[in-house]
Amino acid sequence: MQRPEVRRRRTHLRRLVLAQLGVTSLAMVIAYLLAQSAGLKAVFMGALVAFLPHLFFVYRMGWLRNSPARGNRSVQLFRAEAGKFGLTVALFVLVFVTAPPSNPALFFYAYVAVVLTHWLTPWLMPGKRTND
């Protein structure tokens, strides 16, 4: 039996992931129109560099488990955010050293678009709105 809090969190995360996939798909269509298959690859890599650290953060915070992670929440948040930042830096280095994108502008466009999708979160998670 899942706790209501975990179920609500999973629903919110699912909506956010779907929004990120939608933004990525839209960016891929635009990239294909601008730069054909090279643009698709650049957009895909940019979206992946944005999405994987987000997934790591969600995992480290314990938001997908039935029982929430124990311990000090602020320390847990700091560790998850530090890991997310480190993973982001490592992925940027990995991409630009091993397979530099043919169109860096589209790479960063996709990265920023997926990262800024979090700003849609208030609209993706309807619920009680209070002015407290």
Q: What pLDDT was estimated at residue 124?
A: 64
Return the domain boundaries, the chain: 7-65+72-121
User: Which residues of the chain register pLDDT less than 50?
Assistant: 1, 130-132
- Spell out the residues 6+ positions from residue 125 whose beta carbon is closer than 8 angstroms to its own: 12, 15
Provide the residue type at 43 as one letter.
Answer: V
Rounded to the nearest 5 percent, the helix, strand and coil shares of the chain are: 80, 0, 20
Model pLDDT for residues 53-66, shown as the tens digit of each residue: 988 988 888 776 65
> What is the distance between the alpha carbons of residues 47 and 110, in angstroms, rounded to a whole number?
5
The pLDDT, as a whole number, for residue 111 is 92
pTM reported for the whole predicted model: 0.77
